[in-house]
Structure 1
Amino acid sequence: MVKSEDGRDVPVVQAFAFGKYLGYLKVTFDEAGNVVQSTGNPILLDSSVPEDPSILADVNKWKKALANYSSQYVGETLVYLNGTFEECRFRECNLGNLICDAMVHHNIKYADELQWNHVSSCIVQGGSIRSSIDERSRNGSITMEDLIAVLPFGGTYDLVQLKGSTLRKAFEHSVRRYGGNTGEFLQVSGFHVEYDMSRPPGERARSISVLCTNCRVPVYEPLDNSRLYKVVLPSYLVEGGDGFSMIKEEKLKHDSGDMDISVVASYITERKKVHPAVEGRIKISNSNSGGSGHTILLILIGLVMALSRSL
């Protein structure tokens, strides 16, 4: 139960994902529309729950229609593409790096005398990455079905213009609720970010640097609050999703892009084989404990999430 902006109690519930559970929620309201009581439990949809024949027939029909598309070969990965909750929502993950690099590459245009490209950076929320791709499965081959599992929401990757101050707010929001099972932690390309989790929310981004575009040799420069930057990001964030209201309210220009899956698929196909690494784009420390407290926190979070998903 959480408090809304007008002070009302609001039950917040979730029935996991992928149709594994059916959510049952009973809510009692008073005459003024306030929640008096709420009860309910998720229902596991195992073999004891009979399948609906008409729905099953529709599902099978769509499966046949999608079979040719989902089985299309995209490319090959030489490494494990880690898209787990425990990685992409709490630290830099190599699948997040791959996706963000694809987003920037898709926006590479022609260089001129002033800049090598008009945009060098990307942000994408870790919560949008929903699955991993195992390099030991099918000899590392990647199909469209794999990418649909990784990016199931069907958004676009858009280009926006933001002030440095807005980007700073976005990175602070990225770790405002750090440690919970939330999706706003940002994966990046063209940024180097250092967080100090011993600081209070809103003051945790100790250092942010961005890859220059008006340069012949790209280097990372400190983020300038007053400067304008072009950034590639999901349409979900452009609309203020996951609490990124500052992007929706403060963006100065917005150009819609192509579908997320097509952008990533094209990038992988062009390279034929991919092997993204964790490169130190995002660094997280806890100055009060020399980093050990942060490590213990991540271990505990990972154990709790693993146990909850096995239940």
Structure 2
Amino acid sequence: MKKCMVVKKTMKLSWWSLVLITIFLLSGCASQVQVTSRQSLPLLFPDADFTLTILHTNDVHSSYGGITDKGMTCYSALCEGGRGGYVRLDQAVRAIRQDSPDALLLDAGDIFQGTLFWTLHKERMHMALMDKMGYQAIIPGNHEFDDGWATWLRLIEGLKTPVLAANVVFDPRPDSPALDKIKPYIVLERQGRKIGIVGLVTEDVPTTSTPGPGVEFSSAQATLEKAVAELTAQDVHIIIAVTHLGLEVDRQLVRAVDGVDIVVGAHSHSLLSNYNKKAEAPYPVVEQTPDGTTALVVTASTACIYLGHLDVGFDSEGVVREWRGRPILLDQATLESLHAPEPNAELVQLIEDFAVPVKEMMQTTIGTVNAADKEGLPLEEPNVMECRKVECMTGNIVADALRTVPFSEAQIAIINGGALRTSLPGGAITPGNVLGTLPFQNTPVITDMPGEILWQALEHGVAKYGEGEGGFLQVSGLRYAFNPALAPGSRVTRAEFQAPSGQWLPVDKQSTYRVVTVDFIANGGDGFDMFTSLLWAEGDKLANDSLRVYFEEYSPIAIQLEERIIIE
């Protein structure tokens, strides 16, 4: 159970410090206090033997410029009125380290993928930026393997920042100097205390990414147990697991493994907060290990919009006793409240240089979208994550494109929501929009699919509804309804396809349908194992090429939310 703190008077205080302490006491709980006065910091945990500050990011997804005031990707170092990005992140970290110079900065993976910065520059941009950010350690997420493990290794070859990946096993061992840089864990010292930091990535990388042969992802729990035993034998009694597993898996992990004090997580894009009504859980999440010791779990949403800030007080045995924390929104108002230094000019220039070809790509119009909601009002869709849980405009357009180019004979198109990385805007469409939406090197494929397998695929797509899984299916030539209150495997209540006459008919499990999708899920990605027994014919274009041609040949595209997917 979270402890509230009593602050003891230990020195003569200024009037302003007394005001801060009064506010602090009235708040009741340490985690809800936002103390910025340097004079108040020595009083943070007066009874603690050791205090540690942890700053953390996760699921940046190449959002190096953050987002605009409208929630779209910013392709500059700083967009006026925007939030997040590496420049603001760097300012906030430097501000906090003015008071807490020993603060750890950790990243929990999925730096790759998600914006045109990645699509055009791949690992090169991150290689140029990472060592300037002051991280103590980073780990891979599943998307670090989207272009195969060799791309991830090329990043590591150019980095000085420690890379941790305890459960990533190469067999056979590739001839790469990066292998010597990847460690299962590191041990750092702060104020004479040893701190062990372990890196773990999800075992599901082969089904959520395309790592290629020669790399395996072993059990996160077994790997963590082994690392904790080795660290404890080295007299390390404060252990942080930096993980790319998802919030619920993180919680299960600390309940199962003794010796872990803090988990810095990622993968589920969860926002934790004590004051934001949209938060998934409080910051931090408080759990207990099997022996009853307190363990804290934190994560910080996605797209580098927040910086997680956790202060922890330990006793002489390295046991967590007190804590406070919050996700820091990286906007101008917050930076001013932190008394942040000016932007790092070198960092600004680097990002601006990488942004030049991106901006050029964003200036050529190849088509237009006229998007409207059910009432006919203009529709904007800034959050592509909606495509993982409801019908979305971007999903409708992409699925329609796949059903049209290159397979005009397709009856049905399906696309996993996780394939869609940025939303398509209403209005003018550029090549940059296309590549931002479909950055993967996926190929359209077509097959004659039994209705029984199509139904299984729809069930699989909603089996983990509400968890933000990428397997949620967007569709064209098909509509379906499901009830998330029903048991997984029996949630789809009806499915209909559109006949050539335009009439909607029930999907017959005994019939066969011409279905197009992308090779990622046709090969079993996102858990679509039911597709691997089918014979697929491959198209002559990449999926993003199909989308580009669709805009060029069929614009203006009139699109609405048409109740293709109904939640009962």
TM over 0.5: yes
- Can you give the 5+ residue segments of structure 1 that lack an aligned partner in the other structure? 1-12, 110-117, 286-311
Contact 2:406/2:546 (CA < 8 Å) preserved in 1? no
Deviation at 1:236, TM superposition (A): 1.3
- Aligned AA (1:210): F
Deviation at 1:145, TM superposition (A): 1.1
Q: Determine helix, strand or coil for the equivalent of 2:508.
A: coil
Match of 2:223? 34
Match of 2:454? 167
Is 2:496 the partner of 1:204? no
Alpha-carbon separation, structure 2, partners of 1:178 and 1:90: 7
Listed as ranges, the matches of 1:230-245 within 5 Å are 230-245=514-529
Alpha-carbon separation, structure 1, partners of 2:382 and 2:548: 16
Contact 2:480/2:495 (CA < 8 Å) preserved in 1? yes
Q: Determine helix, strand or coil for the equivalent of 2:413.
A: strand
Contact 2:361/2:430 (CA < 8 Å) preserved in 1? no
Alpha-carbon separation, structure 1, partners of 2:404 and 2:199: 51
Q: Residues 13-35 of structure 1, C-alpha deviation per residue, up to 9 Å, x if partnerless?
A: 953411558433533899x9632
Aligned with 2:554 (options 271, 277, 287):
271
Q: Determine helix, strand or coil for the equivalent of 2:526.
A: helix
Listed as ranges, the matches of 1:64-79 within 5 Å are 69-79=361-371
Deviation at 1:253, TM superposition (A): 3.2
Alpha-carbon separation, structure 1, partners of 2:519 and 2:199: 36
Listed as ranges, the matches of 1:18-167 within 5 Å are 18=62, 20=64, 22-23=107-108, 24-25=138-139, 26-27=197-198, 34-36=223-225, 37=228, 39-40=241-242, 41=264, 56=350, 60=353, 69-79=361-371, 80=379, 82=381, 84-107=383-406, 109=408, 118-135=409-426, 140-167=427-454
- Aligned AA (2:392): C
Alpha-carbon separation, structure 1, partners of 2:507 and 2:365: 40
Contact 1:83/1:129 (CA < 8 Å) preserved in 2? no
TM-score, normalization by structure 1 = 0.69
The alpha-carbon distance between structure 1 residues 172 and 238, as it changes in their structure 2 partners (threshold 3 A), is: same
Contact 1:125/1:184 (CA < 8 Å) preserved in 2? yes
Alpha-carbon separation, structure 2, partners of 1:56 and 1:68: 17
- Aligned AA (1:18): S
Match of 1:254? 537
- Aligned AA (2:395): G
Alpha-carbon separation, structure 1, partners of 2:565 and 2:553: 27
Deviation at 1:64, TM superposition (A): 5.6
Q: Identity of paired residues, percent?
A: 25
Q: Determine helix, strand or coil for the equivalent of 1:182.
A: coil
Match of 1:17? 61
Contact 1:194/1:207 (CA < 8 Å) preserved in 2? yes
Match of 1:115? none
Deviation at 1:158, TM superposition (A): 1.6
* More moved, 81-90 vs 123-132: 81-90
Is 2:281 the partner of 1:281? no
Alpha-carbon separation, structure 1, partners of 2:464 and 2:430: 34
- Aligned AA (1:228): T
Listed as ranges, the matches of 1:281-300 within 5 Å are 281-285=564-568
Q: Determine helix, strand or coil for the equivalent of 1:131.
A: coil
Deviation at 1:182, TM superposition (A): 1.4
Match of 2:182? none
Alpha-carbon separation, structure 2, partners of 1:133 and 1:273: 14
Contact 1:90/1:179 (CA < 8 Å) preserved in 2? yes
* More moved, 166-175 vs 17-26: 17-26
Alpha-carbon separation, structure 2, partners of 1:97 and 1:28: 38
Contact 2:407/2:446 (CA < 8 Å) preserved in 1? no
Alpha-carbon separation, structure 1, partners of 2:522 and 2:367: 30
Alpha-carbon separation, structure 2, partners of 1:157 and 1:175: 22
Q: Residues 244-297 of structure 1, C-alpha deviation per residue, up to 9 Å, x if partnerless?
A: 1111x2213332441122211211222332231001111111xxxxxxxxxxxx
- Aligned AA (2:558): H
Contact 2:403/2:410 (CA < 8 Å) preserved in 1? yes
The alpha-carbon distance between structure 1 residues 83 and 175, as it changes in their structure 2 partners (threshold 3 A), is: farther
* More moved, 229-238 vs 199-208: 229-238
The alpha-carbon distance between structure 1 residues 243 and 101, as it changes in their structure 2 partners (threshold 3 A), is: same
Alpha-carbon separation, structure 2, partners of 1:250 and 1:52: 53
Alpha-carbon separation, structure 1, partners of 2:483 and 2:356: 50
- Aligned AA (1:132): S
Contact 2:445/2:519 (CA < 8 Å) preserved in 1? yes
Number of residue pairs the alignment of both structures matches: 253
Alpha-carbon separation, structure 2, partners of 1:155 and 1:250: 19
- Aligned AA (1:235): D
Deviation at 1:160, TM superposition (A): 2.3
- Aligned AA (2:565): I
Alpha-carbon separation, structure 1, partners of 2:382 and 2:492: 24
The alpha-carbon distance between structure 1 residues 211 and 70, as it changes in their structure 2 partners (threshold 3 A), is: same
Contact 1:162/1:250 (CA < 8 Å) preserved in 2? no
Deviation at 1:189, TM superposition (A): 0.4
Q: Residues 106-143 of structure 1, C-alpha deviation per residue, up to 9 Å, x if partnerless?
A: 1455xxxxxxxx321100111222222443xxxx2211
The alpha-carbon distance between structure 1 residues 95 and 83, as it changes in their structure 2 partners (threshold 3 A), is: farther
Match of 1:220? 504
- Aligned AA (2:365): Y
The alpha-carbon distance between structure 1 residues 152 and 208, as it changes in their structure 2 partners (threshold 3 A), is: same
Match of 2:235? none
- Can you give the 5+ residue segments of structure 2 that lack an aligned partner in the other structure? 1-56, 65-85, 87-106, 109-137, 140-196, 201-218, 229-239, 243-263, 265-298, 308-329, 331-339, 372-378
